[in-house]
């Protein structure tokens, strides 16, 4: 008996490994893996040591315990792209965990193979673009979605301890999601709570001591571990030798996020009295507009805090931003509802909209006729949760692909979990058996067809984006190579010149041309501006402030695209009492195309 179980285990594991290897080989043969945005490359630079010269666990965006562990890997073997490898392992690992679960639900070899083909179609259909062009927020969402699916399809253990043990992988995935991108994990917690509520309400006896204990053990364990990692993250700042600098930067970072991502900059002309009161000149305001605020040391957390408070005060008097029940946002709730309606009517979520529609239809097909399934109230609650989240995103004007993609995938995983639950739990009487089996065939066929359609459409979309990156990215690579060849110089790059070209974001390949050595350049703003890491980077080059260094040091240069108007830079220095003239000293080429111009301030 034991020998037979061992063979089944090895056979099942072998199939999953084989599918995973073929999946990775197939994607690798067709594409190079990319980081999606400069957010990802900045995190990579911090923890690899490319930013300051020393690997650091203070990646700002990810929690310290995770960043620190990855930075240790870079200290041990610097030449391996540990951060990108970690994100890819999380995503392909999610596929393997789901594969292990679904193959464990069927016994026959052909059924396991069918389950693997079905899962591959759905996983690639939903996420082929995200598997190739990797983004850490999406990875956090994938971990959370996988945790929900594994929890929904897990066995029902009577003992609280056994129930906790059964779901320990789901807990670990939730904590991992929390450490990768805390905001994404918290945003998707309502889906997890709904999944737990659905399981609880499906019990024959709901309010028993044993049943309550099971869920308290589960929720308590997850919360405890999340609190511990959050406490370690906070302690890492408190225990740092630069505690005050990090606390000041954290405040600056939070206010900057509120101002740029949620409120926006108040117009200078319309609010000139306020700006004169807080001592912000029009020249410094322009730096905030074009993100090059690293130049001005007077732009600190206190100034940004005053701007945020001013926006909130104006909103409450009916000017500027909208206020809904005390919540301040760029769009009113009526505007957000209109945007949400337009998204639903015109299926602006693309293939995800059709996958979700197929999921809802399949769930009704399988569970609509069963009294104890809770099919309709589950769907109502799911629609309420997804609607609230979408309306919130439209209100704050943050319906970005890196947020909406994992949001849609998580919603689908909840539906898929319920569908699998229904297909595995149903024990029809003999006279209804054929009918129930037919319903299951229709439901899974519908999902399979939609998955293949999604795979085709998302592959076309990926191919277009990938070709655009391949066309545009050599410009950025030319800048990296130019700076690396001139180790004694320091280059300050205009923010908008460093982000994208023709709407295509600059990025880097994860596994090709890996170089984690110190980089002697920095962008002139962004979310690392004013951080202790930025000042450590400047100190390495014996630079006190960027403003002074650009105007006084012979080896410090400003870099921008050829078409960039630098009158704002001249005006800023003029306001500071310095007459400067940007002199073109060199041009960076991609083949024969001018990409960037290097200036010296004379």
What tens digit of pLDDT does each residue of 271-304 get? 999 999 999 999 999 999 999 999 999 999 999 9
Separation of alpha carbons 534 and 479, rounded Å:
20
Report pLDDT for 60: 92
H-helix or E-strand containing 406? Answer: helix 401-425
Report pLDDT for 106: 84
Q: How many CA atoms lie within 13 A of 390 on its CB side?
A: 21
Report pLDDT for 113: 93
Per the listing, tokens 């029009």 go with: 282
Report pLDDT for 276: 95
Separation of alpha carbons 188 and 314, rounded Å:
32
Q: Model pTM?
A: 0.95
Residues 98 and 146 sit within 8 Å (Cβ to Cβ): yes
Per the listing, tokens 């995770």 go with: 66
User: 237-261 in b/e burial notation, b at 16+ Cβ within 10 A?
Assistant: beeeebeebbebbeebbebbebbee
pLDDT < 50: residue spans in the chain: 428-435
Nearest alpha-carbon partner for 385 in 247, 193, 240? 193
Report pLDDT for 436: 54
Domain locations along the chain: 265-329, 468-601
Report pLDDT for 432: 44
Token pair of 205 as six digits: 């006896």
Phi-psi region of 311 (alpha: psi -120 to 50; beta: other; left: phi over 0): alpha
Give SS3 for 491. strand
Nearest alpha-carbon partner for 82 in 93, 72, 92? 72
What tens digit of pLDDT does each residue of 122-141 get? 999 999 999 999 999 999 99
Report pLDDT for 434: 44
């Amino acid at each position: 008996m034991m020998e037979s179980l061992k063979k089944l285990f090895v056979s099942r594991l072998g199939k999953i490994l084989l599918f995973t290897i073929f999946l990775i080989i197939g994607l690798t043969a067709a594409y190079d893996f990319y980081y999606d945005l400069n957010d990802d490359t900045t995190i990579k630079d911090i923890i690899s040591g490319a930013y300051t010269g020393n690997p650091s666990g203070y990646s700002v965006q990810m929690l310290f315990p995770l960043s620190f562990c990855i930075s240790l890997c870079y200290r041990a073997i610097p030449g391996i792209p540990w951060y990108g490898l970690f994100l890819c392992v999380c995503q392909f690992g999610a596929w393997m965990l789901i594969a292990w679960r679904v193959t464990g639900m069927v016994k026959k070899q052909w059924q396991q193979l069918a389950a693997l083909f079905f899962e591959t179609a759905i996983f690639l259909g939903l996420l082929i673009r995200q598997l190739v062009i990797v983004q850490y927020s999406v990875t956090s969402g994938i971990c959370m979605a996988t945790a929900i699916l594994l929890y929904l399809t897990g066995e029902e253990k009577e003992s609280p301890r056994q129930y906790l043990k059964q779901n320990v992988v789901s807990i670990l995935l939730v904590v991992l999601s929390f450490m990768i991108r805390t905001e994404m994990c918290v945003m998707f917690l309502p889906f997890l709570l709904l999944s737990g509520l659905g399981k609880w309400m499906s019990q024959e006896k709901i309010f028993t001591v044993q049943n309550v204990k099971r869920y308290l053990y589960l929720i308590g364990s997850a919360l405890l571990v999340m609190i511990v990692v959050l406490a370690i993250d906070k302690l890492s700042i408190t225990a740092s030798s630069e505690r005050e600098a990090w606390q000041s930067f954290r405040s600056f970072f939070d206010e900057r996020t509120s101002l740029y991502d949620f409120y926006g900059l108040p117009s200078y002309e319309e609010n000139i009295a306020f700006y004169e009161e807080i001592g912000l000149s029009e020249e410094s305001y322009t730096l905030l507009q074009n993100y090059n605020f690293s130049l001005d040391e007077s732009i600190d957390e206190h100034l940004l805090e005053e701007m945020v408070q001013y926006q909130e005060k104006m909103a409450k008097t009916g000017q500027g931003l909208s206020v809904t029940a005390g919540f301040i946002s760029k769009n009113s709730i009526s505007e957000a509802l209109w945007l949400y309606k337009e998204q639903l009517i015109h299926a602006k979520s693309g293939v995800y909209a059709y996958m979700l529609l197929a999921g809802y239809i399949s769930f009704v097909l399988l569970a609509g006729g069963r009294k104890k399934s809770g099919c309709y109230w589950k769907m109502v609650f799911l629609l309420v949760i997804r609607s609230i989240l979408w309306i919130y995103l439209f209100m704050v004007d943050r319906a970005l692909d890196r947020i909406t993609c994992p949001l849609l995938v998580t919603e689908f995983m909840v539906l898929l979990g319920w569908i699998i639950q229904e297909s595995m739990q149903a024990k029809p009487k003999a006279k209804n058996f054929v009918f129930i089996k037919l319903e299951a065939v229709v439901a899974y066929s519908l999902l399979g067809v939609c998955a293949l359609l999604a795979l085709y459409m998302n592959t076309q979309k990926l191919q277009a984006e990938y070709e655009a990156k391949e066309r545009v990215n050599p410009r950025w690579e030319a800048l990296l190579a130019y700076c690396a060849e001139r180790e004694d110089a320091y280059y300050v790059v205009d923010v908008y010149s460093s982000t994208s070209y023709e709407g295509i974001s600059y990025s880097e390949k994860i596994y090709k041309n890996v170089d984690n050595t110190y980089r002697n350049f920095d962008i002139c703003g962004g979310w690392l501006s004013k951080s202790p890491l930025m000042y450590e980077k400047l100190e390495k080059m014996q630079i006190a402030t960027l403003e002074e260094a650009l105007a006084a040091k012979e080896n410090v240069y400003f870099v921008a695209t050829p078409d960039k108007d630098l009158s704002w830079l001249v005006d800023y220095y003029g306001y500071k009492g310095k007459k400067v003239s940007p002199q073109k000293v060199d041009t960076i080429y991609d083949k024969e195309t001018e990409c960037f111009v290097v200036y010296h301030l004379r």
